[in-house]
A and B are shown apart, each in its own frame.
Chain A
Amino acid sequence: MARQMAAREIGRRHYRWRELWLLIVPFLILLLEMFQLPLAQYYKSSISTSTQRIPFSTSILPTVHDLIPILGLIAAVVVVHIALTIFFPKADQVIFPVVALLSGLGVLFALRNGPDLTRGPDPNLGIKQLAWVLIGLVVFLVTLFGLRSMDWLRRYKYTWAVLGLVLVGVTLAHALRTNLNSPTHDQLNFGSTISIQPSEFLKILIVVFFAAYLSENRDVIAEGSIHFGPISLPPMRQLGPLLLMLGISLLLFLGIRELGLALLIYGIFLAMLYLGSGKLSYVLGGLAVFFLLGFIGYALLGYIRQRFAAVGLDMVNWQNWNDATRNFVQNAGLQVAQGLVAISSGGILGAGFGLGHASALVPVAESDMIVSVIAEELGLTGMFALIAFYLFLIYRGYRIAIEAREPFYQLLAGGLTSIFGIQILVICGGNLKLFPLTGLPLPFLSYGGSSIIANFIIIGILLRISHNTAMEREGLA
């Protein structure tokens, strides 16, 4: 008993100074942007009524009352920081400040976008997003406390797989019964106010299943048993459950026209197969199959062709557009074209937070097209900084994976981090017209409760793994 007490004391001796130090500047950034928002709105409303320059006076400065949403968020973040210090002193200290900044910016952009949206203004959008982030922070702590041992995650792997598929199956049935032409199909409505996107949670369940399955069978899979000359394939008996899971989810998502989710799931599969087996040939083979499937999909499914049409759009040469292109830009390609105009009008320094026009002109600016809003208002410099934060988040995630002691934790951390990587790549590429645009949210910045909560669960699992690893390494657990 005395030994345990002593061990615990050694474990608790560290305060998370670095995390606190890293949290200061994000708080300042969030307060500054929140301070700027009412000024920007005042500026925009006055410039439309007068042609003269608007004088600056202290009477138009926002009061503390206007800063309340962000002050509330900061208070919640400080509480979570203290909880982390007391209970998880060894968890990674860089991830949480970055996540706090990103989700705070998400709240700010929802506050900013809400009143301007094309589909119908929603002045409460920011407050709703703030509520989701606060719930997300609670879920984050619950995840950290709940996963004391992650053995049950591994043991009930088939349960998670089935649960995920049932979740999506129910949504699919629901979507087919209602309307296939609405923009998003993977929604479950409870009453009229709350709707969740099961796919956000499905991606976590799939990673847990893949990690548990691969960690048990990775030796066999890495060895490869079927040989065609220099190419070796993993044995079908071991790969079967993975392929089955993959096939079902791909069919489901293609069935409900969620190209982005199908892309995400396939990306996770390839990333985890590589992490588990360390064989590049499997990934290259997987990519070949992917291009083959993509080609078949392109030939068979009209909506995929439509998405690809936007990639070929020549925006720079707009003066020489023919009627067909003009028609395309005003209908099917409207979102991408308007997004690109917004991004280019942002320039290097950006229009300034709250001073752009993207949220009023780009359809679905609050979630799928958030990149174009951010790029317009924060400019190239701001976008570079945000991409850098995402890169560091992903770097820390893979670092946690490398340091973890057991294959299951390594694969779990690596797979969950890959979700972020693929999602950011696909949605940023879609907004920049490099990929076909697909409906994936940008982690922490897009509006959406399910996505925020799912992302906080992922961050919670990552921090728990890093805490467990550090405790084991120092012989304290």
Chain B
Amino acid sequence: MTLDVFLLILRLLGIVLLYLFLMQVIISITRDLRKTAEVNLDVGELIVVDSGPSQIAPGTRFKLEPQTTIGRGPTNTIQINESFVSAEHTRMWFRKGVWYVQDAGSTNGTYLNNQPARAPLQARSGDIIQVGFLRFKLSNPLDERRK
């Protein structure tokens, strides 16, 4: 074998490795895309336990987003079209694995376990959040995994 044959082999090996890496990058990017399409990240939900005077059936589930607003207005994450719900009623946010609830200046108030949530309050999985006369149970998958 002469040196130029050996160098040719090295060159071809280099090209093969470059394209092997390119393939790896493409595979991991497509896998990423599929994953984000499938998993809509689950940070928790609100489950109606007492529908009060409204038509919403108990057991209805509302999916939460890390920044959630509840109210009658169309810009809210969870829109509830009932007269006893203010246009912007309740704000909820998720920080460091914990849910916080605060009233957004509503007429009928927001309560966490029957305490008025005028300042931000920490809510755990299973706590009852009352929006006007609607009562929800909070479910936080992070809390449940910890148990």
Contact = CB atoms under 8 A, between A and B. Distances in A.
A476 interface: yes
B68 to A, nearest CB: 12
B111 to A, nearest CB: 23
B10 interface: yes
Nearest to A26: B21
Interface string B117-145: 00000000000000000000000001001
Contacts, number: 125
Nearest to B32: A94
Interface of B: 1-8, 10-15, 17-22, 24-26, 28-29, 32, 41, 43, 66, 94-98, 142, 145-146
B13 to A, nearest CB: 6
B21 A10 contact: no
Interface of A: 3-4, 6-7, 10, 18, 21-22, 25-26, 28-29, 32-33, 35-36, 39-40, 42-43, 46, 53-56, 60, 93-94, 97-98, 101, 349-350, 352-353, 355, 378-379, 381-382, 385, 388-389, 392, 395-396, 472-477
Chain A residues touching B, majority SS = helix
A3 B20 CA distance: 43
A475 B96 contact: yes
Given A28-B17, A60-B3, A382-B14, 9 more contacts: A3-B96, A18-B28, A36-B10, A39-B3, A94-B32, A101-B21, A353-B11, A381-B19, A475-B95
A120 B69 CA distance: 67
Chain B residues touching A, majority SS = helix
B39 to A, nearest CB: 11
A399 B67 CA distance: 21
B94 A475 contact: yes
A94 B29 contact: yes
Given A55-B2, A475-B142, A476-B96, A39 B10 contact: yes
Contacts of B142: 7, 10, 475
Given A3-B98, A352-B7, A477-B96, A22 B15 contact: no
B28 A94 contact: yes
A3 B146 CA distance: 10
A93 B7 CA distance: 34
A379 to B, nearest CB: 8
B1 A473 contact: no
A94 B33 CA distance: 13
Contact of B97 (A10, A385, A392): A10
Nearest to A105: B18
A42 B2 CA distance: 13
Contacts of B25: 22, 94, 97-98, 389, 392
A210 B142 CA distance: 38
A312 B95 CA distance: 59
A28 B10 CA distance: 12
A6 B146 contact: yes
5 contacts: A6-B97, A378-B18, A381-B15, A473-B66, A475-B94
A298 B96 CA distance: 57
A190 to B, nearest CB: 38
A51 to B, nearest CB: 13
Given A22-B24, A55-B2, A392-B29, A355 B98 contact: no
Contact of A39 (B7, B26, B94, B96): B7
Contacts of A350: 11
B6 A39 contact: yes
A380 to B, nearest CB: 10
A25 B7 contact: no
Contacts of A472: 66
Among A28, A94, A98, A475, max chain B CB count under 10 A is at A475
A40 B14 CA distance: 14
Nearest to B13: A32
Contact of B66 (A3, A54, A101, A475): A475
Nearest to A25: B21
A117 to B, nearest CB: 23
Nearest to A101: B21
A254 B10 CA distance: 46
B41 A352 contact: no
B142 to A, nearest CB: 7
Contacts of A60: 3
Given A25-B20, A25-B21, A385-B19, A36 B96 contact: no
A29 B17 contact: yes
B4 A54 contact: yes
A445 to B, nearest CB: 14
A56 B14 contact: no
